């Protein structure tokens, strides 16, 4: 069946370093992908999206990379800040959004 999974359940980085959060998806027909950030007690917050006809998209301090050959998605956060600490979810979409279980990003000084 369809599934989206994450390689690292917890990622710890030092403030100022770059963070890379990885995600594997299983449905090669998925054509739309989203990264969300969820802080404790809050709903998921949209970060960035990418369509299957692209392999890279940049936002403010964030970059999403899509490798359709190996069905891999990553989120890069530049100059990680304490406010980036949260759980990050990737989601793939074909007929509906399928979310992964999330990666917790911890930023330490």
Partner 1 sequence: GAGVSQSPSNKVTEKGKDVELRCDPISGHTALYWYRQRLGQGLEFLIYFQGNSAPDKSGLPSDRFSAERTGESVSTLTIQRTQQEDSAVYLCASSPNWLGQPQHFGDGTRLSIL
Given candidates 22, 74, 76, 93, which one binds partner 1 under the rule CB under 8 A?
93
- List the one residue out of 24, 48, 46, 28 whose CA is nearest residue 37: 46
- Is 46 a binding residue for partner 1 by CB under 8 A? The answer is yes
- Tell me which residue has tokens 């917790």: 104
The residue ranges of DSSP E strands in 6-102, in sequence order, are 10-14, 19-25, 32-38, 45-51, 56-58, 62-67, 72-77, 86-93, 97-99
Site membership for partner 1, residue 95 (CB under 8 A) = yes
Q: How far is the CB of 98 from partner 1 (least distance, A)?
A: 7
CA distance 8 to 21: 8
Site string for partner 1, 50-89 (x = CB under 8 A): -x-------------------------------------x
* List 29, 42, 53, 83, residue binding partner 1 (CB under 8 A): 42
Beta carbons of 97 and 34 less than 8 angstroms apart: yes
Interface ranges with partner 1 (CB under 8 A): 31-32, 34, 36, 41-46, 49, 51, 89, 91, 93, 95-102
């Amino acid at each position: 069946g369809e599934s989206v999974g994450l390689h690292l359940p917890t990622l710890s980085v030092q403030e100022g370093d770059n963070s890379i959060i990885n995600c594997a998806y299983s449905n090669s027909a998925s054509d739309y992908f989203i990264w969300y950030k969820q802080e404790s007690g809050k709903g998921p917050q949209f970060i960035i999206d990418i369509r299957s006809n692209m392999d890279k998209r940049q936002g403010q301090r964030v970059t999403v990379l899509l490798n359709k050959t190996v069905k891999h998605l990553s989120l890069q956060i530049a100059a990680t800040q304490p406010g980036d600490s949260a759980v990050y979810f990737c989601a793939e979409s074909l007929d509906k959004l399928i979310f992964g279980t999330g990666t917790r990003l911890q930023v330490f000084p």
